[in-house]
Amino acid sequence: MHEISQNLHKAFVLVCENRRDDGRESCGVTEPGLRAAIKEAMKAAGLPVRVLSVSCMDRCKEGPTVAIMPMNVLYGDVHGCDVPELVTKMKEYLIGGL
């Protein structure tokens, strides 16, 4: 293992896209296009962040769930209409420092 000296991204947005087909709540079923919408909005805003798909973050009943790292902030009940607010919050986090 070796450390990579320069990370190109200042922060990461982790979007739960877990899909369950057995009827239990799951973010990927509730809001299937969320990660793509967040990625596009962050890119349009010119923010140096990476938007990643992740599996269940164990907050299914509060989902769709999004985490902002390394700020370690979790958002629940996130829908497409919340994407502009996520961009605003990310700008505040980045200006405020890590």
Distance in Å, CB of 60 to ligand FES, minimum: 3
- Residue of 52, 56, 69, 94 interacting with ligand FES (CB under 6 A): 56
Cα 37 to chain center, whole Å?
A: 10
- Contact positions with ligand FES (CB under 6 A) in 16-55: 16, 18, 26-27
Q: Is 23 left (phi over 0), alpha (psi -120 to 50) or beta?
A: left
Alpha carbon 27 to chain centroid distance?
A: 12
> Residue 90 in contact with residue 51, Cβ under 8 Å?
no
Is residue 15 close enough to count as binding ligand FES by CB under 6 A?
no
Residues that bind ligand FES (CB under 6 A): 16, 18, 26-27, 56-60, 63, 65
